[in-house]
Chain A
Amino acid sequence: MMARLMAERVAFMTIVRKEIRRFMRIWVQTITPPAINAILYMLIFGGLVGSRISEMDGVPYLDFIVPGVIMMGIIINSYANVSSSMFVAKMQNFIEELVVAPVSNVTILAGFIVGGVARGLLVGILVSVVAFLFTNLSPMHPIVTLSIAILTSIMFSLGGFMNAMFAKTFDDISIVPNFVLTPLTYLGGIFYSITVLPEFWQSVSKLNPVLYMINGFRYGILGSSDIPLWHSYAVILVFIAVLGATCLTLLNRGAGIKQ
């Protein structure tokens, strides 16, 4: 039993190491674009447009958008890392290296997810460094900030994994980020507080799960949020539980991997 656990630990570390090495090898594609995007958001929305907007939720507009911009980098990169890595492994058939090895599906899933979280957080840190060059912010609640960032990254890594399990073509792994994730992120309150919306649209916005993550993260940095903090944690944890169970079921069935 102990030997089995040790073997699983070695396998887990191998998958994580491989995943991190993969996105670091192509850092120009994976790490730099979010930093450049962050600079553009800060300059355009914060500096140029933002200077004409006095305050949002009682804070300067540039400060207001910083948590959302960081969170957007975390969400998109966590998702993209796992979906592309898993999909390429399926397409080039080297996922078979893991399927034939004596490694449990929980370990396989955990390895890919930690790889996604590593990229999400690395991008988050990079965007934070860029963003904090434009502002004088420091997180008011560091534990909340860090925990919301990690949990959100886990959730979207799981989403990316599920997408890759179902995907049959490269189009299939770009449809969800382009047509679902990006709109939900932009409408999730990065650039505005939902209190500025009419009541009906405020209610509609509350159906968007990304709103809870951005507001939870904003609470961690600014100390203010449109949503009670426990709602943010609850929504993220429920999504993690559902997506995690679905991914494991798909792996156990060998969906898209085994014949």
Chain B
Amino acid sequence: MTALKIEQLRKTYDGGVEALKGIDLSVDDGSFFAVLGPNGAGKSTAIGIICSLVNKTSGRVEVCGHDIDTEREAAKANIGLVPQEFNFSVFEPVESIVMNVAGYNGIKRSVARHRTEHYLKQLDLWDKRKVPARNLSGGMKRRLMIARALVHEPKLLILDEPTAGVDIEIRRTMWEFLTRINCDNGTTIILTTHYLEEAEALCRDVAIIDHGEIVEQGTVNELLSRSMMETFVLDVDSTAKARAVSGFDVRLRNDDSVEFDVPKGTALNAVFQTLTDAGVSVSSLRNKENRLEAFFLRLVQSQRDESQDASSDSVRLGKES
């Protein structure tokens, strides 16, 4: 079954900005799906349309088989949203915020009370249940929005940059929680994030949006396999000796480490052998950058280059005519 199906979705804002240029997307039931893209790519607009916060210009969206235009309530009942910005009453106590949203979703108070307790405990907010939301820390506010989004137990949970501004420890805890929700409850999760390490660690499937278009889509492994080069960092006892080896472009990083590029899939034994022959001792080896991040940056850059080429072509054509 498909948790989310988008067909030819377009959005042009009043000012004429074309935020989405006819995207197609399909997210399988039970998937953990990342939507990546630079700022202004159209990610939040797409999420806004799915959740009825933004009116679409054209196209079709189905949530768990329900069309958002013709079966609005049924579609909404299946969605839990954790937006980018805090959007709760800062004067309300934590417990009331979650209880109210349960009520808006038609959940009786007795059941809502039980679920509120369950999710606030799961997200380590139970002790804060009587505290007005304005008194929570940034990380707690994010967790409150997750509890609120789950209280009606939706089949599709959408998180728009849920770990933005959250410290590493809380981020890891949130990752574990989301993974558990996905694996144990079978909740489909769609996540937008700027932390590509997060997408690589959590998600099985990825779509990359740029300039309102989906420029890549597939599993994380599929996308990574298209990445041609990898950069490794070596901590060595002599950077001078390491840089002198032939056959590899070894660059100096600092007094203790160097880096070099190899085609993806290359066995590293030859590199180590060459360094050993040159009398270089290697104390550690690591990837220079997050692999998905490298892929993402190269892809976005190539899109930029293509669009610049296209615009300069059109300028030239304009001059000639």
Contacts and interface: CB of A to CB of B under 8 A. Distances in A.
A13 interface: yes
Contacts of B105: 7, 11, 101-103
B51 interface: yes
A14 B112 CA distance: 11
Given A10-B103, A97-B101, A4 B73 contact: yes
A14 B104 contact: yes
Q: Which secondary structure dominates where chain A touches chain B?
A: helix
A44 B86 CA distance: 48
B108 interface: yes
Nearest to A103: B104
Nearest to A3: B106
Contact of B106 (A11, A25, A89): A11
B13 interface: yes
Interface in A1-57: 4, 6-8, 10-11, 13-15, 17-18, 21, 25
Contact of A258 (B53, B90, B103): B53
B100 interface: yes
Most buried by A among B52, B55, B91, B103: B103
B143 interface: no
Contacts of B77: 102
B53 A97 contact: no
A214 to B, nearest CB: 35
Nearest to A258: B55
Interface string B172-195: 000000000000000000000000
A254 B51 CA distance: 13
B55 A254 contact: yes
Given A104-B73, A258-B53, A258-B55, A96 B104 contact: no
B84 to A, nearest CB: 11
A11 B106 CA distance: 5
B107 interface: yes
Given A14-B100, A18-B100, A94-B88, A99 B106 contact: no
A100 interface: yes
B2 to A, nearest CB: 20
A92 interface: yes
B55 A101 contact: no
Interface string B90-106: 11000010001101111
Given A92-B90, A100-B81, A259 B48 contact: yes
Contact of B104 (A4, A6, A11, A92): A11
B87 A93 contact: yes
Interface in A53-86: none
Interface string B146-167: 0010000000000000000000
A259 B52 CA distance: 10
Contacts of B148: 97
Contacts of B55: 254, 258-259
A189 B76 CA distance: 49
Given A14-B100, A104-B73, A258-B53, A93 B108 contact: no
A98 interface: yes
Contacts of A258: 52-55
Nearest to B85: A93
Contacts of A254: 55
A10 B72 CA distance: 18
B236 interface: no
Nearest to B71: A102
B30 interface: no
B38 interface: no
B104 A101 contact: yes
Contact of B88 (A6, A15, A25, A97): A97
Nearest to A104: B73
B110 to A, nearest CB: 11
A10 B74 contact: no
B106 A97 contact: no
Interface string A96-132: 1111111110000000000000000000000000000
Given A15-B104, A96-B81, 7 more contacts: A7-B106, A10-B106, A17-B103, A89-B89, A92-B89, A100-B52, A259-B55
Enumerate the 7 nearest inter-chain pairs by beta-carbon distance, A residue then B residue, closest first.
A7-B106, A14-B103, A101-B104, A93-B87, A102-B73, A102-B76, A102-B77
Interface of A: 4, 6-8, 10-11, 13-15, 17-18, 21, 25, 88-89, 92-94, 96-104, 254, 258-259
9 contacts: A7-B106, A97-B87, A99-B51, A99-B53, A102-B77, A102-B106, A103-B105, A258-B55, A259-B13
